[in-house]
Chain A
Amino acid sequence: MPTVTLKVTRWLCPNVPAESPHSPGIRLAIPDGESLRGLVRRLAAEQEGVWKTLFDEQAQEIGAHVLVVLNGCLATPHERSAALLKDGDEVMFLPVFDGG
């Protein structure tokens, strides 16, 4: 089964397991052909906590308040919805926020 790495910052949810966006993150084995959206939707359905804050149930999409960085690049809307994950992919979830 392919394995991907997921990183979530505490700016999105205070109770994430990873200590910082640059920490090792969560390594997860996923079914073949699972999409990015499908993964987050599945995790939101199966688990409490952080994944529920990332997924917009009404829109059935990753929340608009979340920036997704897929393998070092900002994910396009198409990638957020339909990118098929492969072994070794790294996905980072960041908040939409500006400093001051």
Chain B
Amino acid sequence: MDTRLLGYMGKILRVDLTTGRVWDEPLAPETAEYYLGGTGFGVDYLYREVPPGVEWNDPENRIIMASGPLGGTPVAGSGTFSLVTKGPMTNLGVSTQANGFWAAYIKQAGYDAVILQGQSPRWVYLHIEDGKAELRDATALRGKDTWEMEAAIRQELGSTKRLSVFGIGPAGEHQARFAIVAGDQGHICSKNGCGAVMGAKRLKAVAVTRGTQPVPVYDKARLREAAKALLQDAKAAKGGQLYKWGTGGAFSIHALAGSLPVRNYTTNVFPEHEKMNAEYIRTHFEHRDKPCWACGLVHTKFMKVTEGPYTGHEGEEPEYECMAAWGPVIGNTDPGAMVMLADVTDRLGLDVNEAGWVIGWVMECYAKGLLTRNDLDGLDLHWGNVEAAKALLEKISRREGVGNLLAEGVKRASEQVGGEAATLGVYVLKGATPRGHDHRAVWPEMLDTCVSATGTIQSAARLTSPTFFGQPPVTNPFSPWEVAAGNAKVDGWFVFLDCLPVCRFVTISPSLTIDCVNAITGREFTVSDALTIGRRVINQLRVFNFRHGLDPALEAPSPRYGSAPSDGPAQGKSIEPFFQWMKGFYFELMGWDPASGKPLPHTLKSLGLEKLIPDLEA
């Protein structure tokens, strides 16, 4: 065996949905060596096979779902896979990840990745089991939400073996621009409308039966120890509170730090946060564990509401992003309603971040009389009206009535409405959506969201401090110098993780993460090597984006997104005077032209990407 393929199954599954042909092709060892897996594989195939002029809904667009060297091993969180495609929110590339089991099962089924191309003449789903794959009729699955879809596929396949199913709900079928790919009961590939791309291909789902093929590992004993150390470190991180409360445990932290998004950024004050956070819902509502592959962190749960008007509602416990969207962004203070809306969003197959921003924008416009009941199909969208929000989500997912406009996302919808309404949306000018924080208090993430090549956070999630990379800490989170430099200097690490791919909540320690990678592959990666791989992928995706029309002037916040908070802990802090300078400084430190943001030839050469230089100059 080529030792460069330790950690890999050595095969890619190709699916041409137009012809129905399904075939294997080998994974080139140099591809594994150079790009590692996950997002790396996805970006390389996307770059090579989707030329300029191919739009997101063109049959020639690709969806690459990729595992990596960690998939199927005892490393916690290595059921995570990366989905790479060209997405409709920005009409640029996107890399988005979902946890669960898919990446482990696809490896055990004999494959490192699946590449989907073409457009099926009828609705289908793909089933993969132990080296074999078939397209099956999905007519009966049409209209089903993402949880119903999974259950129906399990029932149809009738297997007692474990199954991982990821697919689309009504939102993807109707190509809502911010449709998601969801599976394993609540895990989400959320960004840049990847679900709409799947819907454009008339592909309802990809189901993988857990296979029997072992993943080749260089040193099993070393891996066992490294995986154990990684998990123990993750459990102790942040005072053990992530382990105890999940991401929702940070809800009150954000409220007190000024980074909770409230009522579409119209205020920064949310005194009800202690009734909406994870400590409240876990001590008042019923819940049970919902672990991912090999993961002892178990920060995700099933949940049942036990108080208030939504008593009895069951679904996945909302993570922080869902809490932010369906609590403070829309002015809702009922935790049970928050759980309900999070569940509805996932089932319909909509990105909770964009959905929250859309409805928050609608509610603000309604409060100001810029949108009326007449405009909203008779719905009363006053702040906190959760039933109206739910009705609107249903309309968006099916592009019915006003839902057809709102399914375009807050940028396009607000531009179409025009007037003052066009100034109120929270978005990046190129169309991407920020996550569920008030980034006016989190400048690293605002800059990152605007310039990211992946369509979501790329460098700045502040889970891993620059000090882990031997760099000094960022001491002033509102310093234009420190923020831009801090982002640039750690850029590459998170994309490296997405090349493994693996859950970011487990991989808090870079050195322990790399121990696991080396134990599997037999390579002796260093943190520096990891950053190089991450930057290689970032740069290749950025060149792809330029070839597909990226305008760096649009890598900036909308007026509302970049505004200064009017109250709260970050009152008056305005990034606006500094943003363009910060962007140029970040570009410079990344080895890109400070004005155009284009990767410079020497940067591409240093990353082994000299082959891309003519493409960028063309």
Contacts and interface: CB of A to CB of B under 8 A. Distances in A.
A72 B568 CA distance: 7
B505 A74 contact: no
A96 B462 contact: yes
Interface in B239-274: 239-241, 247-254, 256-259, 274
Interface stretch (B116-124, B139-147, B436-444, B521-529): B436-444
A42 to B, nearest CB: 21
Interface in A61-76: 61, 63-65, 67, 69, 72-74, 76
Contacts of A20: 252, 274, 279
Given A14-B240, A64-B474, A100-B247, A74 B279 contact: no
A94 B248 CA distance: 15
A52 B594 CA distance: 42
B189 to A, nearest CB: 14
Size band of the A side of the interface?
Answer: 20 to 34
A29 interface: no
Contacts of A63: 473
A48 interface: no
Given A10-B239, A92-B256, A99 B279 contact: no
Given A14-B240, A73-B569, A99 B254 contact: yes
B463 A98 contact: yes
B548 interface: no
B476 A77 contact: yes
Given A11-B250, A20-B274, A22-B274, A97 B319 contact: no
A98 B437 contact: yes
B571 interface: yes
A64 B436 CA distance: 23
Interface in A30-67: 61, 63-65, 67
B324 A99 contact: yes
9 contacts: A9-B241, A10-B241, A20-B274, A21-B256, A73-B569, A97-B462, A98-B461, A99-B321, A99-B323
**Ordered nearest first, which 7 A-B pairs have the shortest CB separation?**
A99-B320, A64-B473, A14-B239, A11-B241, A99-B250, A77-B476, A74-B569
Given A76-B478, A95-B253, A100-B319, 12 more contacts: A9-B253, A10-B239, A22-B256, A65-B465, A69-B569, A72-B569, A74-B477, A74-B569, A77-B479, A98-B442, A99-B436, A100-B320
